[in-house]
Amino acid sequence: MKNKMKLVIVIAALCAFAVSCGNGGKGGKVLFQSDDKKIKVYENEVNLELEKSLFSSGVSEKDLTADQIAQMKKNIIQNIALNRALVLKAKEQKLDKDKKYTQSEDIIKEQALATLAVVNDLNEKVKVSDSDAKAAYDANIAKFQRPEDTVKLQLIVFRASDKAKADTALREVMANPSNFTSYVQKYNGNSSSGTGETQEIPISQLTKSFEPISKAVQTVSSGQVVNSVIPVGANELYIVKVLQKNPKGQIPFETVKEDIKAQIRAQKRQMEQQVFMKAVADEFKITNIADKIKDVK
């Protein structure tokens, strides 16, 4: 659960103030190349987009886990590659010569610079300390309760027809369980969760929907992998790693501290953005601009 909120915020902000995501800073090794070699994504531009994305969200790399950073980079690579594919398609149609593009470049740059001004102001003003988070935790102590035991899992999923493949994967995982995420990527590819990690799941919910997994994890400790492929229903097989086992009752402050800080930060950024935008509008005499626009039909 730790840093989950931050990751959501950061991913949502990818390319938020880029003029054209991934179109600058080419250099370093190639991290992706399409089969026809028409599209390449370079390490330097991915690192630049990561830096801009973190900046736009007011967080730094140290606030996120290595897996989260890796997933962000994969998302960035996908975004850049797709953008480049769309650009190639647009050029095929000669849209790069269209006035809707050629005459809008200055506006696009202005929008990027305006967004950067807002983000820069927010990063200067919005600071959230551990003591801020502790105060919010103490004031809402009843909200931080687990009504029942929960688990957080990491999954590799196979079709039932791929039993031999699942058995091979399990042998690899058991030989090197600390690299479970790499096996998720190897066998599940670009799955929706990226790392195969689940949210915290109440045991009753897990039992209701995935009873074989619920039974299998009962005797497995946090950090361990279930040493068998688990069939669920007639169509799916699972390899399961138990990331966390969380008892019911009061959730410790340290467990939720980063989530609380992220929530406070998001709230403060929203309020400070409104204040900043009004201050700029007042400074440049455009506060009541709608009332002053005339003869627009």
Q: What is the pLDDT along the chain (297 residues), one digit of tens a residue?
A: 444 444 444 444 444 443 344 445 677 899 999 999 999 999 999 999 999 999 988 888 888 888 889 889 989 999 999 999 999 999 999 999 999 999 998 999 999 999 999 999 999 999 999 999 999 999 999 999 999 999 999 999 999 999 999 999 999 999 999 999 999 989 986 544 468 999 999 999 999 999 999 999 999 999 999 999 999 999 999 999 999 999 999 999 999 999 999 999 999 999 999 999 999 999 998 888 887 787 777
Q: Spell out the residues 6+ positions from residue 123 whose beta carbon is closer than 8 angstroms to its own.
A: 55, 58
- The length of the chain is 297
Indicate the residue type of 33: Q
- Whether the Cβ atoms of residue 146 and residue 248 lie closer than 8 Å to each other: yes
User: In DSSP terms, which residues pair with 237 in a beta bridge?
Assistant: 158, 231
Q: Which residues of 269-297 are buried (b: 16+ CB within 10 A; e: fewer)?
A: beebbeebeeeeeeeeeeeeeeeeeeeee
100: burial class by Cβ within 10 Å (0-12, 13-18, 19+)? exposed
